[in-house]
Each structure stands twice: as C-alpha cells, then as structure tokens.
Amino acid sequence: MKILVTGGLGFIGSHTVVALQEKGYDVVIIDNLSNSDISVLEGITKITGIRPGFEAIDLRDKPKVIDFFNRYHNIEGIIHFAASKAVGESVQKPLLYYENNLNTLIYLLQQMQEKAIRNFIFSSSCTVYGEPDDLPITETAPVKPALSPYGNTKQIGEEIIRDTAKAYPLFKSIALRYFNPIGAHPSGYIGELPLGIPQNLVPFVTQTAAGIRKELSVFGDDYPTPDGTAIRDYIHVVDLAESHVVALERLLNNTQKVNFEVFNIGTGRGSSVMEIIKSFENVNGIKLNYKITGRREGDVTAVWADTSLAEKELGWKARLTMEDALRDAWRWQQKISKSS
C-alpha cells in the first residue's frame, strides 16, 4: 500500500518513513530539501534495506503538486510533515510561514479531493495550547491565541482540516499534537540535522558536547518550577514516528470515531532543562559546559501532555525514555561530527 510522506527527509518525517517501511508500507517522499539533506535517503535505506520513492518538489508550486498526483495513482494515505517550524524565524518572516505552511496544506487537500485519497495525518504541535491553564494538558484544553505565526499556522491548519472533514464526509484525518521530539534512530543512520545554530535544546546540548558550540545557555532559572528551569515533555522521535503509523492505520481500518480527530503525542512526563542537562551528562559520561542566562521571549513555564486519549483510542504509548533519547542523540551527533 503506497503512502506519501511530505517532508519525509526531515527529522520526524525520516523516522516515520522507517516506521512505515518496517510495517510493510510502500513509501514515496516529497521534500524540497530546504531543511533536510538528500543523504537522509541513504540513511533510511541503510536501516530498512528499502529505498523509498523520492520527488524533490516544493509544495508551494501548485502545478508541480498537481503533476505529482497525476503521476502517482495509487496513494492510499498522506502523512504531512513538510512545513517551516522555527518559532523565532516565523516572527521575523510571518508571510513565508503562512505561505509555506498553509498554501501547501490547501494544495494537498485539494488534490486529495480530486483523486479521492481519503486518509490524512497532520503534523500539529502542543504550541497550539500556548501557556496552559491546567497540567497535564488534555486535547480538550482551550486552544489559546498563538504566541507565534508558526503556532498560528498549526492552529489554522487544524481548522482548515476540520472544515474539510465537515464538507467531505469520506475524507478522514487525524492531527497529532507533538510535544518536544528529541533523540535519533538507535542505528545512528538518521537523526536531527539542524541548519545553522540550533534553536532547540537537545541539538544545542549535543553540539556543545561535541565542541561545536562553546557553551549552552540555559534560558532562565527563575521559573516557578522545582529547579527554576522550564519544563517540557520530551518524547523520543522513534516513539513519535510510531504514533503516526498507528494513527494512519486507524484511518485505513476505518476505526476512527469521527472523521477528524486530534491526539496529544508526548510521554505524559515533564522534565526541566536542568534535568535534561544532568541526564545527558550521566547517560553519556560527559561534563556539559553551560551557563544560566535570561529567559527566552515567548517561552512558557511548563508544558506536558495528558496522553490518556492516545493510549485509549490509538492503543499507543511512548515506551522509550528520555535517557534512551539522550543516548541516541549523542551517538548521532558523534557520527555526524566525524563525517563533517
């Protein structure tokens, strides 16, 4: 059965392609290589022994998108990762984010209607909750005004899909609201490839440990948390990838309750920045160079998921630990530091 994965050479996309291939799905990837590298295709192939189909297409190019769907007739489902995702950059370049994250979604959904492709998994984010009122966060928590254009594209994206599902009863979709993806595939063949200076914590940690960055700045230790640093729900990217296959199969098997569903995908546990640092040092036997600096604009104090709905409805639960993720992230960093 052929599945299209857009953004399939990206961090989460590549790990999802591996998980799909391991379940026997025939995968074709669309990626414009704006935030990924063609070498990821080799990495995927090394892990599974199966080279996925690949088309270097920019989904903003509507004629190219139409041409793709005229050439590929038997696609049963789409998992849509392709989007810009840097919160800070989205504040500087909002129109790039609205164009890249929303036009592309609309073009894909239009083609799904044209070609009667019914099953759509959308990469969403816990960022839609903003600063939550209650913790852990359930799917019924209020979606707050977005703190960034990036977050707004995820909220608007979900609304576009919701309206599409209302208008087209045969269309089925699930949005997965990720918490904080970290780690790398245990094989060491694929992982995170941040372009330039990493915005996210764990790639900055591994690059500091590798000597690429001089020291890690801990953005604030004056939060109302046990150790004063902010708390997040860090989920191993391999667990996150597997949740996409489970969600897709819910649609393929027609076991969804309504034709648009939303699930939080996290571990259900919160960890502070300092806990990540200490755990990284312990797991990898490395002393990390870091300093405490001021808070980062837009950061929330604490966010972690209530994952009971995904457990109940999808039968999915994260099984890897933060320690597994930090070990795998370091293995990957050492690999790419050697080859660069």
Site membership for ligand WQD, residue 273 (CB under 6 A): yes
By beta-carbon proximity to ligand WQD, the closer residue of 53 and 298 is 298
Candidate segments 43-51, 138-146, 200-208, 323-331, binder of ligand WQD by CB under 6 A: 200-208
One of 97, 107, 150, 178 is an active-site residue; which one? 150
8 Å CB contact between 33 and 4: no
Give the residue, chosen from 80, 232, 244, 327, that forms a contact with ligand WQD under the rule CB under 6 A.
232
| E strand map for 165-317 | 172-178, 180-182, 216-219, 231-232, 234-236, 260-265, 271-272, 290-293
By beta-carbon proximity to ligand WQD, the closer residue of 117 and 318 is 318
Dist. CA 227–CA 270, nearest whole Å: 13
Shortest Å distance, C-beta 28 to ligand WQD: 24
Site membership for ligand WQD, residue 333 (CB under 6 A): no
By beta-carbon proximity to ligand WQD, the closer residue of 52 and 151 is 151
Adjacent-strand bridge partners of 79:
5, 121
Site membership for ligand WQD, residue 200 (CB under 6 A): yes
In one-letter notation, the amino acid at residue 184 is A
Give the residue, chosen from 9, 108, 146, 230, that forms a contact with ligand WQD under the rule CB under 6 A.
230
Binding map of ligand WQD across residues 285-304, x = CB under 6 A, - = no contact: -----------x--x-----
* Residue 34 in tokens: 């704006």
Measured in Å, how far apart are the chain's first and last C-alpha atoms? Answer: 37
Q: Where are the alpha helices (DSSP H) in 210-321?
A: 237-252, 273-284, 308-309
25 is catalytic: no
Which run of H or E residues covers position 30? strand 26-30
From the list 119, 182, 193, the residue with the least C-alpha distance to 329 is 182
* SS3 of the chain: helix, strand, coil, percent, to 5: 45, 20, 40
* Residue 135 in tokens: 């913790």
Buried b (16+ CB within 10 A) or exposed e, 217-249: ebbbbebebeeebbbbbbbbbbbbbbbbbbbbb
Candidate segments 47-55, 216-224, 305-313, 331-339, binder of ligand WQD by CB under 6 A: 216-224
Binding map of ligand WQD across residues 25-64, x = CB under 6 A, - = no contact: ----------------------------------------
Site membership for ligand WQD, residue 87 (CB under 6 A): yes
Site membership for ligand WQD, residue 225 (CB under 6 A): no
Candidate segments 41-49, 110-118, 215-223, 248-256, binder of ligand WQD by CB under 6 A: 215-223
Residues annotated catalytic, as ranges: 150
State the residues that interact with ligand WQD by CB under 6 A: 85, 87, 125, 127, 178, 180, 199-201, 204, 216-219, 230, 232, 273, 296, 299
